[in-house]
Amino acid sequence: MPTDTNENIDGAPETDTPYEYTGCPICGSSKRREGYRFEPPFTAAWCMECGTLYLHPRLKEQAMAERYAQLAYFDGANYQDYRKQERSLSRTFQSFLKRLERRGCLGGRLLELGSGLGWFLRASEGYFDERIGMDLSTEAASEASAYADSVLVGGIEQAPDGPFDLIAAIQVLEHVYDPDPFLSGIAQRLAPDGFAAIVVPDRGSWMRPLLGTRWPSFKIPEHLLYLNETDLRTLFERNGFTNVQRIAYPHAFPLDILAGFAGLSLPEALQTVPIWIPGTSLAMIAQRA
Ligand SMILES: [Zn+2]
């Protein structure tokens, strides 16, 4: 919904810069105030119309797509060696699946958008008749295909028509340039009683005001949206969903990452020990209206 893509602080033609100066991705308003300042030119701006927080400016989508196409993205500096998180993320996904199971969200056909290296697909084995993953990275999709019936390269536009009984997007929506077609595309591919499950960093977390610009979910320039429960509910409800509910999402992290914050280095045997941290992520489920 961004509207003011031609706005540019130095007046140079938009084509000469890798950045775009868009309005609020939720409501389209250009009324904003600076909330956090990162490496120039990036800031996180508060929308004065709807109250959400978003990256401003942001990299143009094509520049970002090239970044994501590389498997190296998963090992980037912000990801602190993504593979070290395999053990703790797998535990996180197992816990999430148990919660989804209690709400009757499992069974039938699963589509996961942004399936990364396939650890959620692997954890979901036995819960579904068919599991399909999708990712923008060819290499990631290839690795993940060991854990699913198939893993396709692409985003929601390339996704099969369905119908699916569960469509999951875990830590994906905060990367999405246009959240409305993403969510409506999910709704269109759901079976009548199907569920969407969306997990994003929780802007309402106690960590953000405490850590300020050091909040780990300020992954610049990849994270474009910093949503709270109200924002995500709004997005769901205007894109064809009903019965929107928040569910708990305990998130485990490798001890190594926490030790890194404290400036400690750990023996290898301790580095991947999963530590549960509350309140980092916002998980919501919804059904097709
Ligand atoms: Zn707004």
Question: Ligand 1 mean position to 24 CA, how many Å?
Answer: 5
Question: Ligand 1 mean position to 190 CA, how many Å?
Answer: 28
Question: Ligand 1 mean position to 59 CA, how many Å?
Answer: 19
Q: Hey, what are 215's tokens?
A: 């909040």
Question: Ligand 1 mean position to 178 CA, how many Å?
Answer: 13
Tell me the pLDDT tens digit for each residue of 38-86.
999 999 999 999 999 999 999 999 888 877 766 566 655 444 567 888 9
pLDDT mean over 204-233: 93
The 8-class DSSP code of residue 213 comes to: G
Question: Ligand 1 mean position to 232 CA, how many Å?
Answer: 12
Question: Ligand 1 mean position to 228 CA, how many Å?
Answer: 12
Higher-confidence position of 265 and 193: 193
| Beta-carbon contacts of residue 95 (< 8 Å; ≥ 6 apart) | 250, 252
Q: In which element (H, E) is residue 170 found? A: strand 164-170
pLDDT mean over 9-16: 55
Question: Ligand 1 mean position to 27 CA, how many Å?
Answer: 4
Domain(s) of CATH 3.40.50.150: residues in the chain: 71-288
Length of the chain counted residue by residue:
289
Question: Ligand 1 mean position to 276 CA, how many Å?
Answer: 32
The 8-class DSSP code of residue 149 comes to: S
At the topology level, CATH places domain 71-288 in Rossmann fold (3.40.50)
> Does the pTM of the predicted model rise above 0.85?
yes
How crowded is residue 101: how many other Cβ atoms within 10 Å of its Cβ? 12
